[in-house]
Chains A and B, each alone.
Chain A
Amino acid sequence: MKILFKNIDMPGLTSLSVYEGQGGYQSFKKAFAQKPEEIVEIVKASGLRGRGGAGFPAGLKWSFLAKDVFPRYLVCNADESEPGTCKDRELLEKNPHLLIEGMILTSYACQVGTAYIYYRGEFQHAADLMDKAIEEAYAKGYLGKNIMGSGMDLDLYTHLGAGAYICGEESALLNSLEGRRGEPRLKPPFPAVEGLYAKPTVVNNVETLSAVPWIISEGAEKYAAIGTEKSKGTKLVSVSGHVKKPGNYEIVLGMSTRELIYDLAGGIRDDNKLKAFIPGGSSTPMLPADKVDVGYDYESIQAAGSMLGSGALIVMDHTVNVVEATLRLSYFYMHESCGKCTPCREGTRWMWQILGKLQAGIGTNGHVDKLLDICDNMSFKCFCPLGDAAVGPVASSIKNFRSDYEELVKKLQGGAVSV
């Protein structure tokens, strides 16, 4: 079942004519015949959930917009920075018109007149492609004034970030888009009430918005029939790490992780043993190999002790030293903490320092316990989810692979490493 990746490898798909030849931009007629609120209801009924990481129902998010307050904004979050995640990039580079169509539909549903796509700083190429696609869409009358005679106006702009992971957090993204420092904002007010320029704003991920045209064309019921009871539709999964065929795969939610790793991604490299996997991007807790049969959907992964997140499956085989992997991940969070709140700013660095000691073989069991306590002092006490994300790999690696840590501690006790 392919929705987002149906024609993804078709040559020339980035051009409007090829995209239209594949049935693109056909959803407007159906959409514009209905009231905006009805479109919101359709998306609600489809069960589409935000694909950026939190999995919040998209239609419900739209319905939270402050009533009768205008202008409103739509912002597409294309700041794809979660380690392991590269699905949005493929959509953006290969099928930009799908996103444009999705954003036009969403703007219609949410009565938005101005929309932005916020790219991570490194996505210059994708943004250039998008600028061309936007130009074509304006020329064709899909953007601009009175789109297709619907009376709807929409301007669409691209904006490149300056290279900060935190700007993938929606309120930090809005700050950055406004030209302010990329730091998360206090919530409430949520963006739906006071977002960009303090006006009601919808922020959705590239993949989420790209799913909207299909839902409008094919109907909510058809979408809702795909997947599990609560995880509807298809999901792009970026499979990386020690697999034979890393890449982006569109799956029906609920497929087993084993199938994903062993069938779609061709199994573990050199037919090694699976040791661990991170199911939903670096921020989600890592799971041991025995959880590999977990269904790849929001609820099942949560029940297994992790999260589906942005759908980045990182696979580690038995050659991996989990402490070393965690050290590298903790460096990322230290480097990307914006520094606004104390526990994240100080805690990420401290954890990295301690992990460095452990990895160097000069740590003790006390250090491992201290790490757990630091995790506890950070968990749910930071300003935004980045702090919790930083805790994820550390706490889960100790929980599931404490033996790896103890192995390194023993080295010290055995005198193998001089301090």
Chain B
Amino acid sequence: MSDDNQVNITINDQPVTVPKGTLLVDAAKEVGVEIPVFCYHEKLGPFGCCRMCLVEVEKMPKLTTACTQTVMPDMVVRTESPKVVKAQQGVLEFTLLNHPLDCPVCDKGGECPLQDNTFKFGSGTTRMEFDRADNDKVTPLSPVITIDRERCIACQRCTRYSDIIEQEQALVMLNRGFKNEVHTFCDEPYATRYSGNVIDICPVGALTNTEFRFKARSWNLDNAETLCAHCGCNCNMTLGSRTNKLMRIQTRPNDLVDDGWICDKARFGYDFIESEDRLLEAGTVVGGARKKVNALDAAVQVADSLSKIVDEYGPESVGFLGSAYGTNEELYLYQKLFRSVLGTNNLDHKTYQDTPGLPIDHYDFLNVETANLVLLIGSDPAEELPILDLRIKKAVTRRGVKLAILNDQKTALDKFAELSSTYNVGADGAALSALANGLAEGGAGDESVTGISAEQMKSLVELIRSGKKVCVVYNPASLTGNSIHMLKHLLSVIGKIPDIECGAIPAAPSTNAVGAMDMGILPDFSPGGTPADKGLSAMEMIDKAESGELKALLMYRSNPVVDFPGGKRVEAALKNLNLLVVHDMMETETSQLAHIILPSNGPGYDEGTTTNIGGRVQYRRRGLNTKNLPDWKIVSKMINSLSEEPVEYITSFNVTEEISEKVPGYGEINKKSIRKEGKTREPVTSVNGSVPQVEKVNSADQGLKLRVATRLFTRDKILSTSSPLAHHFLPSTVNVHADDAAKLGFSEGDEAVLSANGAEVRAKVEISNRCNPGAVIVPMVADDQGVQGLAGGGSVSWVEVKKG
């Protein structure tokens, strides 16, 4: 073989050629030879402790473990020789020696590697004549994971996962010999953001899902290959149900998206599916009372009412507030209803500025690992996009990728960064501009504005320049004012540096933020990033509702009363509308104000495609049945009742077909092409034009700038107080810089009252230098915390912080 990177070996007399460095256990798969394993997991790397994979290699004096031995030229491997068979039976006998054999009641039964390996490679009998080890059967490691210590075979997959993948070392082995046990570090609860993955990788029934324990046999589950709908990663998962009840959620590895992991919110955050607050019926409000109506009738009524308002006040008088939680199909149809049928461009799905397309490559997740440098801007992946967080940790700890961070707050990833610069809250535009200028022509910006020293800025510029391949990951939702334009300018500057390949991932936290932009749920762009005459943005629609110019709003899975800046003002504005339609899956503060209510199915019950932040379009399959109509049917009913050329869609894929036809970039997206791993859509070309001026940060006479920080586990409509993840909920806190705390006379733990806009939020003071002086960070811990009410919307918000 002329290729130096390929190695020829034979396994059980079958020749096989594999890349250098391949482990025997993986090489064997190439020729359909199964070498049994327990401790080996391809994501965790070789370890060699369970000894299940012993094989015979010619010229080696001892049997060797196939999970630790890499291929060597002309190796002759035997996996079925008498020596190997004896060893396999021996190891299995040892493994089962003190294993309880309570398979009939074990959650792992039917999908257990120990059962399967014993079936295929074991002797079927035991010579054990002593009492089996008597260990604890039920020990919670956390509220969601329970360990059965008798079943544990000490393969250390879980402890290695916590060490290597999570980089937390939250699970450790304790004690020695046959007394060794998996424990949490210092007996703290195992409460990482991704703890549940150990349940899936446990090769026996030791680590069990507390929610699922003893609920069902695995072979009786109906499994739907679906997607997580919590964040912009769109991790693949399997939803297992029994008699239409959700039983459990597991990983469904897709290396291009999730690398085989899901976060705990994906796995345990599903109690909304059966929440009492679900909106299940369409209704109309007459005289303050809600009356149940048929959903299709309600849809027709919505269409008629909107059309009447358009006739009377013009198309500018109606608007659509969508959300990045809908599927592409649902959002596309709403876009069609409002733009094509009703003739308005008043569409938006967010309260911050964003524009589709990038002046450089739109990178997918894999590029995080293949880059030399990841530049993280304004993003906190651990709280916003947990599986991206794991991918970045992998890149840094195992792929030698450098990490540079530019943010207004310190995050958990800082300790992995080569360089981490903190700009002043609200100075994102200035910091991005300084960096762009530094890269283009030198200079470091004004430290008194940006909060970043000239020296740090210089190091950051040098670090970026030293990278051959730079992957920028930015969170558009953390940028203020028009900074998104500055960011896109920065991207084009980096893209123009000779010999640097550069791409970016717009790491917006919401599920389908990229899809929502692609589908044209934007005031200034039609689907596919085609510029359109500018309609009203979300915040402008609230303004116009307040002033009475906007007469009707349709909210699709959006809850502005709580989620929008402005607080009470938003509620008052909505009350001012002639028509408020809310199409949602939950009763919300906004649905309480609605005139017409439409039920939305939402994740679990719905189906359709979503586009993740890497631009990958995947299919979210329905996991549970519902009698309710799919959302897209309700929207298409509205369209058809107004349109002269009705289009009947039989399945959601019919809508996908229309997207494929009509939306630039989605031409290759169809049922077949996205089936397995999804497919990346063609990136939208940026239409970002001239370099914007840095907006001057508005100042206030007193008070501090407010930064609301996203948290993964927020108590809200999705994770209620009865959620199994409730142990992650935190009380309301405010991070105050030590300098400001000294000025304000605050000590750690003091009660503070934050006020602005007529809204008040109480919070415990945490003195930490999480942000630069002059600002406070308030983590969003609950939707009724009211923190969005403090924000004014638009640019930087100021709050007054007083002792409570």
Contacts and interface: CB of A to CB of B under 8 A. Distances in A.
Do A and B form a real pair? yes
Interface of A: 164, 166, 181, 183, 186, 334-343, 345-350, 353, 370, 376-378, 380-383
A380 B61 CA distance: 9
Contacts of B49: 340-342, 383
A341 B47 CA distance: 10
The size bracket of the interface on B is 35 or more
Contacts of A378: 90
A58 B791 CA distance: 71
Contacts of B154: 339-340, 342, 345
Given A370-B127, A377-B93, A381-B63, A341 B87 contact: no
B51 A343 contact: yes
* Chain A binding surface SS class: helix
B177 A381 contact: no
B305 to A, nearest CB: 68
Contact of A380 (B62, B95, B173): B62
B97 interface: yes
Contacts of A337: 176-178
A89 B52 CA distance: 39
Given A342-B52, A346-B97, A381-B87, 16 more contacts: A183-B173, A336-B177, A339-B154, A339-B180, A341-B49, A341-B50, A341-B51, A342-B91, A343-B94, A348-B177, A348-B178, A349-B177, A376-B86, A376-B90, A380-B61, A381-B63
A346 B54 contact: no
A345 B97 CA distance: 11
Contacts of A383: 48-49, 51
B130 interface: yes
Contact of A335 (B51, B54, B93, B177): B177
28 contacts: A183-B173, A186-B46, A186-B68, A335-B176, A335-B177, A338-B176, A338-B177, A339-B175, A339-B178, A340-B154, A341-B49, A341-B50, A342-B49, A342-B153, A343-B51, A345-B178, A346-B94, A346-B178, A348-B177, A350-B97, A350-B130, A376-B86, A377-B91, A380-B61, A380-B63, A381-B51, A381-B62, A383-B51
A353 B130 contact: yes
A227 B471 CA distance: 64
A382 B51 contact: yes
For the complex of A and B, list the 6 residue pairs with the smallest distance between their C-beta atoms, beginning with the closest: A377-B90, A339-B180, A346-B94, A337-B177, A380-B62, A339-B177
A334 B177 contact: yes
A58 B48 CA distance: 28
B51 A181 contact: no
Contacts, number: 93
Nearest to A377: B90
Contacts of B483: none
B91 A381 contact: yes
A337 to B, nearest CB: 4
A266 B48 CA distance: 47
Interface in B38-54: 46-52, 54
Nearest to A348: B177
B179 interface: yes
Contacts of B463: none
B323 interface: no
B98 interface: yes
A188 to B, nearest CB: 9
Contact of A345 (B46, B47, B87, B177): B177
A347 B128 CA distance: 11
B119 to A, nearest CB: 18
The interface centre, meaning the residue of B51, B63, B86 with most chain A CB atoms within 10 A of its CB, is B51
B88 to A, nearest CB: 10
A181 B172 contact: yes
A342 B51 contact: yes
A376 B62 CA distance: 12
A52 B172 CA distance: 30
A381 B90 contact: yes
Contacts of B62: 380-381
A183 B54 CA distance: 20
B171 to A, nearest CB: 12
